Structure 1
Amino acid sequence: MSTFPTSAKAVVIGGGIVGCSTAYHLAKLGWTDVVLLERQKLTSGTTFHAAGLVGQLRSNANITQLLGYSVDLYNTLEKETGQATGWKMNGGLRLACNEERWTEVKRQATTAHSFGLEMQLLTPTEALDLWPLMNVDDVVGAAYMPTDGQANPSDITLSLAKGARMAGARIFEDTKVTKIELEDGVIKGVMTETGFIECEKVILCGGQWTRDFAATVGVNVPLVPMEHQYMVTEQIDGVTSDLPTLRDPDRLTYYKEEVGGLVMGGYEPNPIPWALKGIPKGFHYTLLDSNFDHFEQIVELALGRVPALQTAGIKQLVNGPESFTPDGNFILGEAPELKNFYVGAGFNAYGIAAGGGAGMALAEWVAKGEPPFDLWPVDIRRFGRPHFDTDWVRTRTVEAYGKHYTMAWPFEEHSSGRPCRKSPLYETLKGKGACFGEKLGWERPNWFAPAGMEPKDVYSFGRQNWFDIVGEEHKAGREAAVLFDQTSFAKFVLKGPDAEAALSWIAANDVQKPVGSLVYTQMLNDRGGIECDLTTVRMARDEYYIVTGTGFATHDFEWISRNIPDGMNVQLVDVTSAYAVLSLMGPKARDILEKVTNADISNEEFKFGTAKTIGIAGCPVNALRVTYVGELGWELHLPVEYATTVYTALAEAGAEFGLRDAGYRTIESMRLEKGYRAWGADIGPDHTPAEAGLAWAMKLKKNIDFKGRKAAEAQRDNGVKKILAGFTAAPDIVLSGRETIYRNGKRVGWLSSGGFGYTLNKSIGYGYVRSDEVIDANYVMDGDYELEVATERVPCTVHMAPLYDPKMERVKA
């Protein structure tokens, strides 16, 4: 055994599959001075009792790529290390037992095609040929992915550990970390029961222990342990070693072959949280007591699918705690609260499928300071204030667990832990029929039900029950005016003598403007990718007000604060909760606003892209002349205590002009018509302004350096290989994103977002047209295009210009 180290370049805490994979990949990157510490034995936490199914397809291209990397790694790992992994690429089947599930499966197949994966649609008879033990009486169809598979969790982890050692990493079992040592908020090392290890970087892959341990250094990791059970049978006639894994979501169950028998588990709608008072001391290589009564509901569903289970011998009912998260996605990345502290945890019972790719991504994040590609769906910075409360996290996680195999409806909302964060107008808008959605705990009106209609979403893969109502809200926004409650916007103040210099470095657009100027800007990484997409307002010589999307509060605050150059005298403060926001939009917006303020709001005195403080009903309102819906309008930012007063004044003044309350579904349909980009969908760290049609928002013609400028200049000089374009299709075609784009019969990308444009009466989508060669707008426009929607190809028209411009004024950037 090697001598216990006194220092290391990085320390990985946790010897499950993700910790071992991270150490393996760090060592492969040349970080041989890496130490992995496991408090007991490798795999002894939750890895050893994982079921071991390895699927790849997710709703996000990059997460699918991450899982695909796991498969590629597992294909070669045993040969590399000589350590058995139990990996076999025996394919995966997914059943559909009703028409709506079949639609979901067909849409998943299109998503797979978009992302370059092979997914075959099968008849019930074809599925039976692959899995002859099942009853297919109720099966409508199935999907088969030949590159899915299964692994032995412990073996594959030990193989990764061996590979890490072979590459130079050191692994110490029976070594409990007792404390992370900090000095002035900087990591100095880790204290263990064996001794102190000096290090700069810590990667915490502690499974269900991660939340509590991370909290000791002020880092929030929203996960909780849940009981998860599966049954292991004796050998069953007809179960062959090459039997594909099987997922039967309508019966909430999954199956895989094991030593001639079956492993069968599932996701019950009433899961049981575990360790409500904390994880017992000394818990390792330990299973929970089998709960046959609770598992009976899963068995009953399984018997209808696999009749042989009625007579099969049962070896074991495994009950092991697994880490689950409030949104069903795992957690990766550098903690926003502590530099050089990284997390890989909360894998929602698919840690084996994600383990290879998650370790690769974490290792690159640690070694290079950024992930290999945009990982926003699993980024730790997607969380916020509600996630500090363990009771709230547990409540929402119970719901997410219960939905693991339920239908993934478009526009689906969670219902638990609500309401949490409320605008001052919540009760007022609720009384006017608001149907609320939720983001980062905030209640936000999605649409307004008319009198006599319950404000409740009815989900489907077709047009949902709110479709026509949103159309009426949209029409009001185009022809009269609408009022949106956007209080949930994340709002920051950047203040100090060096505010201009700091923001000039971080922002790609020119923010060196007079007081009262409003600037839409991106913030770029060193590759030129878009890390933030937001609005800045110069409030004073030494102060900027920054507005960004609700869900990006943690992410954008962290990005700005981390990139303020050393030595600059400037502070960033989150003021989200201090201000309400009412967005008044539409051709009649000025008429309405003139009735409630004495300020001159004429176009001459209050131009687009400016901000002024105006008075409304005794309230000082910071009015921003800006739009995300393509109409004349203002965002009215005001102290929360004035919200109901100002809202009432606007509502009364707007009555004669046809003012209508409207929600976020209307914002989305209007922005699609105007071609405004959405971060996290159309733009993100993997997309540059030049690719996204936003090059005009960079100060490349000015001699002002900014982060990402060199990459932006290189693209300006050398061109791009992907370009964001708009697509329209017939109104009966439902576009929701991830539909495959075909140019001249060749797959060239997928839709990043999709929806409906009521003014145009067309379905609208946006997506990148990709090529191996440098392309331009002419290349995009020259092609003939089709979209694959639920495996069917439909004609579409490509667009490079906005689809809609209001007649009364062309909106300028």
Structure 2
Amino acid sequence: MELPQQARVVIIGGGVVGCSVAYHLAKLGWSDVVLLERKQLTSGTTWHAAGLIGQLRATSNMTKLARYSAELYMGLEEETGVATGMRQVGSVSAALTAERLEELYRAAAMARAFGVPVEELSPAEVKERYEHINLDGVKGGVWLPTDGQADPANIALALAKGARQNGATVKERVKVTGIARTGRRVTGVDWVAEDGDRGHIACEAIVNCAGMWGHEVGRMAGINVPLHACEHFYIVTEAIEGLTQMPVLRVPDECAYYKEDAGKMLLGAFEPNAKPWGMNGIPDSFEFDQLPEDFDHFEPILENACNRLPMLAEAGIHTFFNGPESFTPDDAYHLGLAPEMDNVWVACGFNSIGIQSAGGAGHALSQWMDSGEKPFDLGDVDISRMQPFQGNKHYLFERSKETLGLLYADHFPYRQKATARGVRRTPFHHHLLERGAVMGEVAGWERANWYANDGQEREYRYSWKRQNWFENAAAEHKAVRENVGMYDMTSFGKLRVEGPEAEAFLNHVCGANMSVPVGKIVYTQFLNARGGIEADVTVTRLTETAYLVVTPAATRLADQTWLRRNMGGFSAVVTDVTMTEGVLAVMGPNARQLLQAVSPADWSNEVNPFGTAQEIEIGMGLARAHRVSYVGELGWELYIPAEMSGHVFETLWEAGQDHGLKLCGMHMMDSCRIEKAFRHFGHDITCEDNVIDAGLGFAVDLSKPDFIGKAAVAARKESGPKARMVQFRLTDPEPLLYHNEPIIRDGAYVGYLSSGNYGHTLGAAIGMGYVPCEGETAADVLGSTYEIDVCGSRVRAEVSLRPMYDPKAERVKV
């Protein structure tokens, strides 16, 4: 077996994703690219994929990548001579419930914002687009004319050929058996060929494209790749006389999709209770394998399908197929540089959308690898969002039962995962449950989202309208605005940055100035070289040589990784101390009176001003009180040693009975923060949003010596913003906003909302989003007429560049 002894990169896995990564790196001029496939190209899951090419995804950037895939596949045949079977046949999605119809119509509005052609359909129009459908129960649907279908295996083979044509080496029947590592870098891979040859390839990086083997290959490379294989079923009928090319049909309420192929019909399913597979590992001999049939499992899907498409009742079944595919804990694929290593990249876990995602994923990853920077925001799929515990095999087994079915489940706002829950709990967990907490989950953390009243059921009733907790959250919101509320913030990440050069290091990484007195709290961002926002944090100076960086719960690992990768030669260390302290936020105009009742500390403005942290006594314990607020009211975040957290909670709760104290959840926090136009990282601000455009220039000190992003921020400040973050308030109090609703300026679509919630004090739904405005003044932006497209209806909106609630921030400083 002839293989090079050295390579710039070794790609492990020859499915459609691995072939795409090889193709795109080779296109960028990486001539020493080696792809190794343990058996034959496509022999894992690619070969049995259904080949659906949908272009509308949940976010703008994921849609951009899906659209790129479709465009790439259209031209691959001409480039390589390999037929991809790519045809833009369009797709119809049909709704059987009013809730599903609202979901589809909201998705249609989102498509318009993202530039994807779309058309809402009445039941009769569904029938016009898909003549074979039985309209029983159909409420309507949507038509996406640019969706398509293709031959999955041939797409992969075309990409592999294109990679070879551009200098890459693609070798089949070569298994990677070991990965050599030194510190945080891999140095090479050991391989063995089927003919018995063995060898080692020294390399500068590897890419894990191993599909359902990705978890195992990740362990070999020292990284965490949480995914699990599940059985995926479809049937193919005998040839049906007179059947011509048809659009793809999806009926998610019946967990089914339909694809015409060469005069036959393929019926696939994403059933709500999936069957995990490969718990004891995947057999070494696996190649183009099928799993045992389970007709009993598939029969309910087939029964509904024969009613929905009566032709199926008459057609014979040619193939009953069951093959494995990999699924991740959150149904988003894994892409990017693994946080545990500095030259191990990942592109796997594609949750049954690998074909439509592979082109774009390979394109984005290759650009990231080539430049060292993400080409745009990839937070949805960045592997650094995964928490270490999510690699636990029992956790993955339990969660995978649910994630396959979630692809076609109702995608209600605030929907919580039902499986693999209760893994990470704060010190207050049982205290909150005893008092009515209804939990949600973020990064494995159980967090109180809202509190049920006595006698009220403690669970979500999902809807696109006002959900069953709407009034509960409104009451919690009112308590924080008018009296005093308390909520658990323990899950937020806490990173201790310590060392003789901690100040200099943080001044290098942060936009704001970290040369502040002990006890000072600074709101700041980590910026990239383009002035984009990599993290949104508060930094508290604890001592001359130690700082505490507080991050969102979901980005703690990503933020810690960013700090470590930018440490350079600074003499400092970064330590995750999240669980050393419980955190209770006490917020509201009467917060001071409650805290005075349980602590001898001086809570006055003179001694305890906004933006400072004080060591305090509370009850019979100790804590550190941080006077900051994400809800826009007077209040403190209390950082309490974990062992004293229960005592402090009980002390505050007991004293709070005389002060009208109300326990509050995360829904309240989000509705309050959006009234204050506080940005939400991952929605309102991302790595591609310049800090000036985001309206956060006040948090950057350009008088500091050089820091990451300084030149880009200075340039944007000089040129003026290319877009402005605008706050919107609907003039109709009834409609609800979530995010991605299109923004219409003077009758033209100009963008979409990055976040949305209901402003209970402002009396209507509130949204935030960027409005392009290069060369315009703030007055120009505010001088236009704005509407928001809510589920196809245009709703007038008032706009502001300053917070609509307490624009001068007087309430937090009283």
1:438 to 441, 458, 465: 441
| Aligned 1:16-27 pairs, distance under 5 A | 16-27=15-26
Q: Which amino acid aligns with 1:653?
A: A
C-alpha separation in 1, matches of 2:112 and 2:697: 30
Give the aligned partner of residue 724 of structure 2.
723
Residue 413 (str. 1) matches residue 426 (str. 2):
no
Poorly superposed stretches of 4+, deviation over 6 Å: none
Give the aligned partner of residue 238 of structure 2.
234
Over the matched positions of the two proteins, sequence identity in percent amounts to 46
Unmatched 5+ stretches in structure 1 = none
Q: Which amino acid aligns with 2:595?
A: L
With over 3 angstroms needed to count, the CA separation of the structure-2 counterparts of 1:331 and 1:579, relative to structure 1, is same
Paired residue secondary structure (1:110): helix
Paired residue secondary structure (1:798): strand
Give the aligned partner of residue 10 of structure 1.
9
Residue 714 (str. 1) matches residue 715 (str. 2):
yes
Give the aligned partner of residue 676 of structure 1.
678
1:562 to 554, 565, 568: 565
Give the aligned partner of residue 374 of structure 1.
377
Give the aligned partner of residue 132 of structure 1.
131
1:115-165 superposed Cα distances (whole Å, 9 cap, x missing partner):
111111112222222222221122111111011101101111100111111
Give the aligned partner of residue 197 of structure 1.
201
Q: Which amino acid aligns with 1:473?
A: E
TM-score by length of 1: 0.98
| Aligned 1:710-789 pairs, distance under 5 A | 710-729=711-730, 730-771=732-773, 773-789=774-790
Residue 225 (str. 1) matches residue 229 (str. 2):
yes
Give the aligned partner of residue 215 of structure 1.
219
Q: Which amino acid aligns with 1:724?
A: M
1:697-733 superposed Cα distances (whole Å, 9 cap, x missing partner):
0011x13211111111110111222111000012101
With over 3 angstroms needed to count, the CA separation of the structure-2 counterparts of 1:356 and 1:808, relative to structure 1, is closer
Residue 162 (str. 1) matches residue 151 (str. 2):
no
Paired residue secondary structure (1:532): strand
Task: Report how far residue 620 of structure 1 moved.
Answer: 2.0
Residue 616 (str. 1) matches residue 618 (str. 2):
yes
Give the aligned partner of residue 459 of structure 2.
456
Q: Which amino acid aligns with 2:790?
A: V
- Contact kept, 8 Å, 1:617 with 1:649, in 2: the verdict is yes
C-alpha separation in 2, matches of 1:812 and 1:167: 62
C-alpha separation in 2, matches of 1:808 and 1:27: 53
Q: Which amino acid aligns with 2:441?
A: E
Task: Report how far residue 450 of structure 1 moved.
Answer: 1.2
Give the aligned partner of residue 84 of structure 2.
85
C-alpha separation in 1, matches of 2:13 and 2:189: 13
1:214-251 superposed Cα distances (whole Å, 9 cap, x missing partner):
1123211110000001111121134213x111111011
Residue 254 (str. 1) matches residue 253 (str. 2):
no
| Aligned 1:277-316 pairs, distance under 5 A | 277-316=280-319
Give the aligned partner of residue 172 of structure 2.
173
- Contact kept, 8 Å, 1:598 with 1:615, in 2: the verdict is yes
Paired residue secondary structure (2:692): helix
With over 3 angstroms needed to count, the CA separation of the structure-2 counterparts of 1:780 and 1:49, relative to structure 1, is same
Task: Report how far residue 184 of structure 1 moved.
Answer: 2.8
Paired residue secondary structure (1:492): strand
Residue 271 (str. 1) matches residue 274 (str. 2):
yes
With over 3 angstroms needed to count, the CA separation of the structure-2 counterparts of 1:807 and 1:471, relative to structure 1, is farther
Residue 320 (str. 1) matches residue 323 (str. 2):
yes
Q: Which amino acid aligns with 2:508?
A: W
C-alpha separation in 2, matches of 1:239 and 1:696: 63
Q: Which amino acid aligns with 2:209?
A: C
Residue 331 (str. 1) matches residue 296 (str. 2):
no
- Contact kept, 8 Å, 1:534 with 1:546, in 2: the verdict is yes
With over 3 angstroms needed to count, the CA separation of the structure-2 counterparts of 1:506 and 1:131, relative to structure 1, is same
Give the aligned partner of residue 66 of structure 1.
65
- Contact kept, 8 Å, 2:221 with 2:344, in 1: the verdict is no
Task: Report how far residue 775 of structure 1 moved.
Answer: 3.1
Return 265-274 or 626-635, whichever deviates more: 265-274
1:282-303 superposed Cα distances (whole Å, 9 cap, x missing partner):
1111111222221112111211
1:608-638 superposed Cα distances (whole Å, 9 cap, x missing partner):
1111111112322111110000001110011
With over 3 angstroms needed to count, the CA separation of the structure-2 counterparts of 1:211 and 1:808, relative to structure 1, is closer
C-alpha separation in 2, matches of 1:790 and 1:137: 24
1:81-129 superposed Cα distances (whole Å, 9 cap, x missing partner):
1111011111111111121111111101011011111111112222222
1:434-493 superposed Cα distances (whole Å, 9 cap, x missing partner):
111111111111111111111211111111111111111111101111001111111110
Give the aligned partner of residue 647 of structure 2.
645
With over 3 angstroms needed to count, the CA separation of the structure-2 counterparts of 1:812 and 1:172, relative to structure 1, is farther
Paired residue secondary structure (1:160): helix
Q: Which amino acid aligns with 1:217?
A: A
C-alpha separation in 1, matches of 2:81 and 2:557: 43
Q: Which amino acid aligns with 1:636?
A: L
- Contact kept, 8 Å, 1:83 with 1:155, in 2: the verdict is yes
Q: Which amino acid aligns with 1:795?
A: R
- Contact kept, 8 Å, 1:386 with 1:393, in 2: the verdict is no
Paired residue secondary structure (1:689): coil
Task: Report how far residue 810 of structure 1 moved.
Answer: 4.3
Give the aligned partner of residue 598 of structure 1.
600
C-alpha separation in 2, matches of 1:95 and 1:585: 46
- Contact kept, 8 Å, 2:206 with 2:345, in 1: the verdict is yes
Return 190-199 or 622-631, whichever deviates more: 190-199
Give the aligned partner of residue 589 of structure 2.
587
Paired residue secondary structure (2:688): coil
C-alpha separation in 1, matches of 2:441 and 2:777: 39
Task: Report how far residue 508 of structure 1 moved.
Answer: 0.7
C-alpha separation in 2, matches of 1:800 and 1:750: 16
Q: Which amino acid aligns with 1:472?
A: A
Paired residue secondary structure (1:775): coil
| Aligned 1:89-168 pairs, distance under 5 A | 89-168=88-167
Q: Which amino acid aligns with 1:790?
A: C
C-alpha separation in 2, matches of 1:706 and 1:415: 44
- Contact kept, 8 Å, 1:396 with 1:417, in 2: the verdict is yes
1:305-343 superposed Cα distances (whole Å, 9 cap, x missing partner):
111111212211111100011111111111000111001
Give the aligned partner of residue 195 of structure 2.
none
1:15-36 superposed Cα distances (whole Å, 9 cap, x missing partner):
1000000000001111121111
Return 296-305 or 222-231, whichever deviates more: 296-305
Return 122-131 or 755-764, whichever deviates more: 122-131
Q: Which amino acid aligns with 1:411?
A: Y
Give the aligned partner of residue 357 of structure 1.
360
- Contact kept, 8 Å, 1:722 with 1:775, in 2: the verdict is no
C-alpha separation in 1, matches of 2:127 and 2:618: 69
1:39-75 superposed Cα distances (whole Å, 9 cap, x missing partner):
1111111111111111121221111111111011111
1:633 to 635, 641, 648: 635
Q: CA RMSD in A?
A: 1.4
Give the aligned partner of residue 32 of structure 1.
31
Q: Which amino acid aligns with 1:203?
A: V
Task: Report how far residue 171 of structure 1 moved.
Answer: 0.7
Paired residue secondary structure (2:722): strand
With over 3 angstroms needed to count, the CA separation of the structure-2 counterparts of 1:741 and 1:812, relative to structure 1, is farther
- Contact kept, 8 Å, 2:634 with 2:811, in 1: the verdict is no
Return 388-397 or 348-357, whichever deviates more: 388-397
Q: Which amino acid aligns with 1:655?
A: Q
